[in-house]
């Protein structure tokens, strides 16, 4: 009996977990717009009858979510496409300037824009280099990501060429610790960020190969 | 009066807390299907509350039978062939395949009978060399290829108290940790109770 349940779980659990994670992100992306699209459906009288054993409300929500996802995807692609044309580029920078004049919105917008730009567009090493870091004390190692090389304010002190390292908590890597270490204390690893996150999210159940590499100059 | 009240509380509070925890898990398991079963049952029963309870029970029974049936089929028939085909299909769906591969690896490692994952309780020198924390060994052997660290390292999960779904993942040298004769359940009990409950334990030599 127990044997059968374990085997059944081994087969079904990965599938269920994968679906749960994907549906979570699906809902997160579509949630702000579902109400609007459903109102449009109601106005046009679309999908007001249930389908087989699914009620009208559920069917409407699901179709609305699908449509929103498709629209979001094409909107992103379209925006990226037209931003490369000169006319739209100046239009977009005008919008940028407009947002920068709104009191409270402007400070939040500026921070978000700077972070996204640093991570996505520039070719710095933010969140690209995986290291082993002697945290919390000398003989113990944690996995961290180098987020910044060079601390302008620390030049001339003992921490002259410190690098910023982010050490995520387990299994939810959206929180963690930000620390500054000397590069010679760190062990630079030849590992992808994806593998490092897999190691952290699985609580260490999926161990990668910790292979040292020379630090980038 | 006060004496009677606290006696009554001591009897009722554990029952209430247990019910709350069980209900959280039941709701997580049944939530995706409640809508469908509700619509199916509406013609047969009157009040929505009755329908909700009945559909939750039905879903739980159905899920249990599904898991059991899959297990029986997998053992009795050559289902590996079909599972293999299914895996091949899942590995081709973009986005889906990345999450699926990782979750499958985790579930297989945790549930496979011989694995040491989350079975061994250890005391580790965390956060300072002389302090000790309770941790769980999650992988017995980290493949290290670092000239500076020639020893054998293990991955240890140190949970936060009292909510152990959050914690630190650390790499310790094998000779740094104290292997403890304690079940995972007892260790979790001690973490959840913030250390107020502690089963007597003995330290044993590493495996």
Residue A188 lies in a domain: yes
**DSSP H/E element including A17:** helix A2-44
Do A132 and A196 fall within a single domain? Answer: yes
- pLDDT, residue B168, reads 92
Pick from A9, A18, A200: which is nearest to B169 by CB? A200
pLDDT at B192 over 70: yes
Does A81 map to a domain?
yes
Residues with Cβ within 8 Å of residue B123, at least 6 apart in sequence: B132, B133, B134, B135, B177, B178, B180, B203
User: Is there a single domain that holds both residue A71 and residue A137?
Assistant: no
Q: Domain span at residue A15?
A: 2-95
Q: Does residue A119 belong to any structural domain of this protein?
A: no
Least confident of A138-147, B64-73, B99-108: B99-108
Query: What is the structure's pLDDT at B2?
Result: 86
Chain-chain contact of A205 with B109 (C-beta, under 8 angstroms):
yes
| A159, burial (CB in 10 Å: exposed 0-12, middle 13-18, buried 19+) | middle
Give the chain B residue whose CA is nearest to the CA of A9. B67
Examine the domain organization and report whether A90 and A164 are in the same domain. Answer: no
Residues A91 and A128 in one domain: no
Asked whether the beta carbons of A64 and A41 are under 8 A apart, the reply is yes
> Which pair of structure tokens corresponds to residue A125?
């090493």
Boundary residue ending a domain (A50, A79, A95): A95
C-beta of residue A62 within 8 angstroms of C-beta of residue A38? no
Give per-10-residue mean pLDDT for chain A (217 aa).
80 84 85 82 72 70 85 87 77 84 87 80 73 87 87 78 89 88 87 86 83 67
The reply to whether A35 and A74 lie within a common domain is yes
The arithmetic mean of pLDDT across residues B99-118, rounded, is 76
DSSP class per residue in B110-176: HHSTT--TTT-EEEE--SSTT--EEEEEEEEEEEEE-TT--S-EEEEEEE-SS-TTSEEEEEEEGGG
A107 lies in some domain: no
- Domain-embedded: residue A50: yes
Which neighbouring-strand residues pair with B158? Answer: B168
Check whether residue A67 and residue A132 sit in a common domain.
no
Question: Contact A11/B74, CB-based, under 8 Å?
Answer: yes
pLDDT at B144: 77
Q: Is residue A60 part of a domain?
A: yes
Residues A85 and A156 in one domain: no
**Residue A140 and residue A193 share a domain:** yes
Measure B200 CA to nearest chain A CA, in Å.
27
Residues of chain B with Cβ-Cβ distance to A139 below 8 Å are 125, 129, 172-173, 176
- The reported pLDDT for the residue numbered B19 is 92
pLDDT attached to residue A143: 92
What was the ipTM of the complex prediction? 0.73
Average pLDDT, chain B: 83
**Are A84 and A143 within one domain?**
no
pLDDT surpassing 50 at residue B205 = yes
On whether both A91 and A139 belong to a single domain, the answer is no
Q: Is residue A115 part of a domain?
A: no
Average pLDDT over residues B135-146: 81
Q: What pLDDT is stored for residue B16 in this prediction? A: 92
Do A69 and A152 reside in the same domain of the chain?
no
Per-residue model confidence (pLDDT) at position A217: 47
pTM (predicted TM-score): 0.73
Of B66, B96, B128, the CB nearest to A22: B96
Question: CB distance B146–A140 less than 8 Å?
Answer: no
pLDDT band at B7 (very low <50, low <70, confident <90, very high): very high
Residue A133 in domain: yes
In chain A, what residues touch B106 (CB-CB under 8 Å)?
Answer: 202, 205-206
d(CA B65, CA B81) in angstroms, rounded, equals 22
Strands (E), chain A: 129-133, 142-149, 163-168, 176-181, 187-188, 209-211
Taking CA atoms, what residue in B is nearest to A132? B171
Same domain, A137 and A86: no
Is pLDDT larger for residue A104 or for residue B148? A104
Euclidean distance between CA atoms B32 and A116, whole angstroms: 34
Residue A121 to chain B, least CA–CA distance (Å): 22
pLDDT surpasses 80 at B114: no
Counting the structural domains of chain A, the total is 2
């Amino acid at each position: 009996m127990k044997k059968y349940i374990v085997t059944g779980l081994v087969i079904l659990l990965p599938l269920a977990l994968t679906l749960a994670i994907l549906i979570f992100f699906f809902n997160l992306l579509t949630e702000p717009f579902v109400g609007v699209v459903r109102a449009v459906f109601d106005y046009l009288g679309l999908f007001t009858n249930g389908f087989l054993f699914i009620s009208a409300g559920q069917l409407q929500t699901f179709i609305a979510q699908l449509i929103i996802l498709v629209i979001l995807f094409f909107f992103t692609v379209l925006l990226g496409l037209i931003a490369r044309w000169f006319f739209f580029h100046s239009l977009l920078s005008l919008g940028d300037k407009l947002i920068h004049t709104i009191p409270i919105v402007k400070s939040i917008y500026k921070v978000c824009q700077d972070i996204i730009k640093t991570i996505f567009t520039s070719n710095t090493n933010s969140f690209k280099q995986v290291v082993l870091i002697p945290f919390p004390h000398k003989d113990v190692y944690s996995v961290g990501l180098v987020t910044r090389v060079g601390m302008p304010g620390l030049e001339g002190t003992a921490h002259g060429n410190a690098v910023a390292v982010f050490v995520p908590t387990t299994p939810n890597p959206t929180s963690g610790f930000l620390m500054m270490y000397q590069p010679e204390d760190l062990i630079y690893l030849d590992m992808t960020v994806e593998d490092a996150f897999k190691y952290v999210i699985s609580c260490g159940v999926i161990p990668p190969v910790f292979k040292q590499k020379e630090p980038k100059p | 009066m006060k004496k009677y009240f606290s006696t009554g509380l001591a009897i009722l509070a554990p029952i209430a807390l247990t019910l709350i925890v069980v209900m959280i898990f039941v709701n997580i398991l049944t939530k995706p299907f409640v809508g469908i079963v509700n619509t199916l049952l509406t013609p047969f029963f009157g009040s929505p509350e009755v329908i909700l309870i009945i559909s939750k029970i039905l879903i739980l029974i159905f899920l249990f039978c599904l898991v059991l049936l899959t297990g029986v089929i997998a053992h009795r028939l050559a289902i590996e062939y079909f599972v293999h085909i299914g895996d091949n299909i899942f590995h081709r769906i973009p986005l889906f395949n990345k999450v699926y591969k990782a979750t499958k690896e985790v579930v297989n490692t945790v549930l496979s009978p011989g694995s040491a994952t989350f079975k061994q309780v250890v005391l580790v020198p965390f956060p300072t060399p002389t302090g000790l924390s309770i941790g769980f060994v999650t992988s017995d052997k980290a493949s290290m290829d670092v000239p500076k660290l020639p020893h054998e390292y293990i991955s240890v999960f140190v949970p936060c108290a009292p909510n152990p779904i959050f914690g630190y993942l650390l790499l310790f040298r094998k000779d740094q940790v104290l292997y403890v004769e304690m079940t995972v359940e007892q260790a979790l009990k001690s973490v959840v109770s913030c250390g107020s409950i502690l089963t007597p334990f003995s330290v044993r030599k590493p495996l």
